[in-house]
Amino acid sequence: MASKVYFVRTDARDSAQDVSKKIRKLIKESKILDYINKIDFTAIKLHFGDKGNTGHIRWEWVKEVSEHVKNRTNNVFLTDSNVIYKASSRTNSVDHLKIASEHGFSLDNIGIPVLIADGLRGRNYVEVPVAGKHFQKIKMASDLSDCDSMLALTHITGHILTGMGGALKNVGMGCSSRRGKYEMHCGTVPAIDPSKCVSCGKCIPVCPADALSINTGKISINKDACLGCGECAVVCPTEAIEIRWSETLEKLQEKMVEYAKGVIDALRSNIGYINFLTRITKDCDCLAKDDPSIVSDIGILVSRDPVAIDMASVDLVKSSSGRDPFREGYPEADWSVQLKYADKMGLGSLSYELIEVR
């Protein structure tokens, strides 16, 4: 059965107020928040953007969403979990909260508090059972596991390991503890082309596992320590470091989906999804840079089905641009793996009915 996905068009020329009005109408017509009860502790899960990143969801839009959630429950907060990348400003809760505030996600601006769900150093998690082929249990950020419901706000982007980052990634990767992120990334080891390496060392500080070093004038990787996160390949200015595109990338996406299933099961499917097809960039908001858009702004989607909303997001991007910019950006990272596996695991449907709100 096709899942309902509601959609409103936006334009890069729209003001923050214009977009807020469209969000208001989208939420009202879709009734996307009806699953939230008055006594619920409800998390609004989003990515605050790394320091220097400009593509993340604007705080003014999040404020509009939060006002509607507050009409359902007073127990609402913004949240994300800490990351494994050492060079990030989001590896611990102190720095993470600082960057959230710098990007406008503060109590004064939004009207609700901000919590980092996996504790000070990202070590706080609860094990949740999941019947997957890679995991039998996942490590879910502990504060999220205490919630009654959640609303996932996702900025659609490209991604070096998953091709496309959408709601499934936001829930699967984003709701795990740091240790859970290690588990998902483990296995994708980059390759080095020594002829391209100029020994600049830019990759060394971004490695969360201290797996990189310069030996005999060229970068080398300790394969036993490497987590396969791909950050070194992203920052390498000469493309000397490349991800070994193999079945391990498929495994990473499958692991991510199994984590998403664990989170969805733990919250008894009391989750809504809002995808923002605005300022769509080649790389995700984890990167601290001002990336240009790879396609024009398209709009905002809402659904109770994470598979359907991600599928609809990709289809709208392809239809709007007349191409597949996610495949163009990372040709060997097949974004469809995560959607097909999520469909197989019963997280949602690849079939959807797109309902445009005007």
Provide the residue type at 148 as one letter. Answer: D
Q: What H or E segment, with its residue span, contains residue 319?
A: helix 306-321
Confidence of residue 4 (pLDDT cuts 50, 70, 90): very high
Of the chain, the percentage scoring pLDDT greater than 90 comes to 84
8 Å CB contact between 60 and 106: no
Q: State how far the Cα of 33 lies from the Cα of 35, in Å rounded to an integer.
A: 5
**Enclosing H/E stretch for 297:** none
| Pairing verdict, β 125-129 and 137-141 | antiparallel
246-to-138, 250, 279, 358 alpha-carbon distances in Å: 24, 7, 29, 43
For residue range 51-85, list pLDDT tens digits in order. 999 999 999 999 999 999 999 999 999 999 999 87
Average pLDDT over residues 239-268: 89
| Whether residue 340 has pLDDT greater than 90 | yes
Write down the pTM of the prediction.
Answer: 0.89
Can you list the domains of the chain with their CATH numbers? 3-183+247-356 (3.40.50), 189-243 (3.30.70.20)
| Cα–Cα distance for residue pair 177/125, rounded to 1 Å | 6
Burial bucket for residue 285 (CB in 10 Å: 0-12, 13-18, 19+): buried
In terms of DSSP bridges, do strands 125-129 and 163-165 run parallel, antiparallel, or are they unpaired?
unpaired
| Exposed / middle / buried, residue 113 (Cβ in 10 Å: 0-12, 13-18, 19+) | exposed
Q: Is the pLDDT of residue 271 over 80?
A: yes
Q: Report the distance separating Cα 178 and Cα 121, nearest Å.
A: 8
Given a cut of 70, whether residue 245 has pLDDT beyond it is no
Q: What is the pLDDT of residue 289?
A: 80
Question: What does 149-195 look like in DSSP terms, one character per residue?
Answer: EEEEEEE-EEETTTEEE-HHHHHHTTTB-HHHHHHHHTT--EEE-TT
Task: Report the C-alpha gap between 76 and 67 in whole angstroms.
Answer: 10
Is 303 within 8 Å of 269 (Cβ atoms)?
A: no
The SS3 assignment for 343 reads helix
**HSE-up of 346 (CA within 13 Å, CB side)?**
7
Residue 247 has pLDDT above 60, yes or no: no
Closest CA to 180 of 141, 133, 209: 141
Instruction: Tell me how far apart the 2 most distant CA atoms of the chain are, in Å.
Output: 63
Instruction: Single out the residue of 164, 217, 160 nearest to residue 190, CA to CA.
Output: 160
Sign of the Cα pseudo-torsion (317, 59, 12, 354, in order):
positive
- Within 10 angstroms of residue 39's Cβ, the number of other Cβ atoms is 9
**Cα–Cα distance for residue pair 230/222, rounded to 1 Å:** 14
Please, which pLDDT band fits residue 291 given cuts at 50, 70 and 90?
confident
pLDDT in tens, 179-232: 899 889 877 788 899 999 999 999 999 898 899 999 889 999 998 888 877 778
Question: Is the per-residue pLDDT at 246 higher than 60?
Answer: no
| Placement of tokens 């009391």 in the chain | 270
